[in-house]
Amino acid sequence: MNPEAPEGARGTELAGVSGEVRVSLGQEASLADVIDELETRFPALAETIREHGLGRRRAYIRFFAGGHDLSHEDLTDPLPTDVAEGRVPLTVVGAIAGG
């Protein structure tokens, strides 16, 4: 599985990494598993992807894989097989809003 962040994204600077981050979680991995792994490896990301105490995705965080928006999927649902097997990257994006 290849969760990746766009170059220069705030989260990569916050976590002290750049480019692609790879995690191995198994066939039944979920978005929650990916987030758990990212927060464990990069503690600066804790509570930046999920709301504190609620465990749900923050409003301006989006998940994409294989041309599909997975942002509104239940975080505990298994990821698509091609993502879980690492053939298709999972992209985590912090959206920007403003006027």
pLDDT attached to residue 63: 93
Let me know if domain 10-94 sits in CATH 3.10.20.30: yes
- The amino acid sitting at 53 is G
Cα–Cα dist 42/44, whole Å: 5
Specify the pTM. 0.77
Mean pLDDT for the chain?
82
Q: What is the mean pLDDT of residues 16-24?
A: 79
pLDDT attached to residue 25: 84
All structural domains of the chain with their residue ranges: 10-94
pLDDT attached to residue 99: 63
Residue pair 66/89 in contact by the 8 Å Cβ criterion: no
Q: What is the pLDDT of residues 71-80, one digit of tens each?
A: 999 999 999 9
